[in-house]
Structure 1
Amino acid sequence: MGRSHIRNVPAEASGGQSWGKHSAVPPGGFSLVRVPIAMISELNRELYAATTGVPLYHYTSLAGVKGIIDTGLLRATEITYLNDSTEMAHTVSQLDPETWFREGFGKLESKLFVQFREWISHRLTAGHKLYVGCFTANGNLLSQWRSYCPPTRGVNLGFNGAKLTASACDQGWKLGKCIYEQDKKEEIAIEVLNEIEDLAERKGAKAGSFQHIFEELETHLLEIAALLKHPAFHEEQEWRIVSPVITNYVEADIEYREGASMLIPFMKFGLPHAPDRRVDLEHVYLGPTPNSNISMESLSNYLSKFGASPRNGVQYSNVPYRTW
């Protein structure tokens, strides 16, 4: 029997019949319809298969530029330390409504999804870890100059998306496009829970626990969660490089930097390079600054001197934003 995708449809649309293993029409006049879906591993691959023909930019500071160009590395931050306070927990909020809906359809579902809610509520935020580097398809956005760059010292480094993907693959990382659309996130939640339910049916509980089912899918769940973003951030058009799942922070190559109120864990990611370039940049924006002419000159000269001259040049932002 093929796998299936549970959908809620009005009972009249299904002729008042139930579908799949559920024999009763749920309260409220809805029945469950099953349609084919891919396995969660295939869903994961699809989410990280997105490509782009435009440069992907990383907003930073003049000090950040020097650190990146001097080393050829980007600091990828542990995901729960990013500026979005709902990181990872947002995925829990997407899964919760569907688990409550399914809980009433039998003893297996009730026990399974009660346990899953308890497990995922702490596991995504306090379990294994992911490290991410953030990029955007929008290279010259006022809100991002304000949010991610210090006043008068902002720079945005643009990279070729295909080259970023290749660099990520070489290091065991992935590049993925963030998802903001609510309907898409709901579809993903349904597919994830279908996979959990199918595994539970096939493998059963161990001493009354389904934790082994959840642990089997944990890596895929983390990698999917890394791309689900709150819609309030949609204008950022974010893409992320995502590390392999870190299961042992003591043995992993994790370093720490000083943050505003805490130490921030990070890992180093090797950026694209070429035989004639220490860092292979596609394009660079210089952010709003009072001395744009000489700042443009010094930035261009620095990039040329240290083997990182962008293929399509350095451009001034021209965003009418003044902090001086």
Structure 2
Amino acid sequence: MFDFVPQRPIPQEQDSAIRVAVWTLMSEAYRDVQLPQTLYHYTDAGGLKGIVESGLLRATHLAFMNGASEYLHAVSLLAQEIDKALLIESDPLRICLLKEVKDPVALAGPQHVGPYFVSCLSSEENSLNQWRAYGRGEGGYSIGFDLVKLNHHVLGLDGVLAPVIYEPSRQLALVQKLLQWGLSEYQKVAGTIPANDRDEHRRDWAHMFLWRATAAAPLIKNPAFVEEREWRIIFRPAWKEQVRLLPRSTGLAPFVELKLGTAAAEISSERLKHLGRASLPDRLPITKLWSGPGRATDTSLLADRTLLEQMGYDGVFLEASKIPFRVG
């Protein structure tokens, strides 16, 4: 996955311009989306316990999620726009850049996905579809995070928190804007590069542009999933050593652990001794916890409150889902 990371840097000011433009265009794609106060992460009992006791959220490599197909869909949109542009472009510099990015985009497959790691949330707090998909039906949880505080921590990790784009017209518009910006920007930059160095610079600039621009791909998802109202944390680790590997029935799945909380309040060494810990984990911006539908949805909140209070969480609102649920 790290093979896709550019090995030769381009001038810092050029890289910064690409990076700012990509994030700006991504932001514009959901500028009119109403921001919720809370985002929810659906999980099972083991997931809840692991998140609260570690103070961490996991982000899984995109190729090992259902999102891998969406990534390739986004890449195919870009490939189509490149072919269209080649038919109408007349500027030699822009044509050279299009040809430079055409093959890497056209030949991209799941094995070519860069180190993009994703953690999924939803603006829906009590969704039957989400309970079934991520809470394993019965005994699931929906952990509510304060959006503003969560986004603050994501930005601190140089990541992005954004809603998924489901509408095909918006998906296409984002891809088109990214490509057109890249063509215009390269046209300006290439004019400052000596002719003898231009071919090498173009290869490096194109690689960096693709590397930055494909960060938008995890935000594109099939419209059939629109009811999930999904938001995604997108993170790119700086080093391979940040990646952990989780054994699954299908093989190893890469993931990273995201520190998205603040230091917990200190408690006595005696209390820590009973918990078997040297300190409390970071306190994530959790404001609400739903217990999912099932036979023990009300009573499970007793244990949930204990877990939260043990780990330094006070004032979390607890609620039990009343969605009818049939067991067996």
Per the alignment, residue 97 of structure 1 pairs with 80
SS at match of 1:158: strand
TM-score, structure 2 normalization: 0.76
CA distance in 1, matches of 2:58, 2:65: 12
Per the alignment, residue 178 of structure 1 pairs with 164
Per the alignment, residue 101 of structure 2 pairs with 116
CA distance in 2, matches of 1:53, 1:85: 26
Structure 1 runs (4+) deviating above 6 angstroms are: 48-51
CA distance in 1, matches of 2:24, 2:137: 43
Q: Which has the higher helix share?
A: 2
Return 165-174 or 195-204, whichever deviates more.
195-204
Q: 1:193 to 1:243 in 2, by over 3 A?
A: same
Q: How does 1:168-317 map to 2 (within 5 A)?
A: 168-202=154-188, 203=190, 206-207=198-199, 210-244=202-236, 246=238, 249=240, 252-273=241-262, 275=264, 278-311=283-316, 313-317=317-321
User: What is the identity percentage for the equivalent residue pairs of Structure 1 and Structure 2?
Assistant: 25
**Cα deviations by residue, 1:131-182 (Å, 9 ceiling, x for unpaired):** 1111110111111111112232211100000010111122222211211111
Q: 1:264 to 1:140 in 2, by over 3 A?
A: same
**Are 2:24 and 1:42 equivalent residues in the alignment?**
yes
Per the alignment, residue 133 of structure 2 pairs with 147
How far the C-alpha of 1:123 sits from its partner, in A, is: 5.4
How far the C-alpha of 1:267 sits from its partner, in A, is: 0.6
8 Å Cα contact 2:62/2:113 also seen in 1: no
Q: 1:292 to 1:123 in 2, by over 3 A?
A: same
CA distance in 1, matches of 2:171, 2:76: 10
Unmatched runs of 5 consecutive residues or more in structure 1: 1-37
CA distance in 2, matches of 1:253, 1:48: 30
How far the C-alpha of 1:111 sits from its partner, in A, is: 5.4
CA distance in 2, matches of 1:123, 1:41: 22
How far the C-alpha of 1:297 sits from its partner, in A, is: 1.8
SS at match of 1:226: helix
Return 231-240 or 91-100, whichever deviates more.
91-100
For 2:39, the aligned partner's letter is L
Q: 1:209 to 1:104 in 2, by over 3 A?
A: farther
For 2:287, the aligned partner's letter is E
CA distance in 2, matches of 1:211, 1:321: 56
8 Å Cα contact 1:279/1:307 also seen in 2: no
Higher relative contact order (Cα pairs below 8 Å, separated by 6+ residues): 2
Equivalenced residue count is 283
**Are 2:67 and 1:67 equivalent residues in the alignment?**
no
Per the alignment, residue 71 of structure 2 pairs with 88
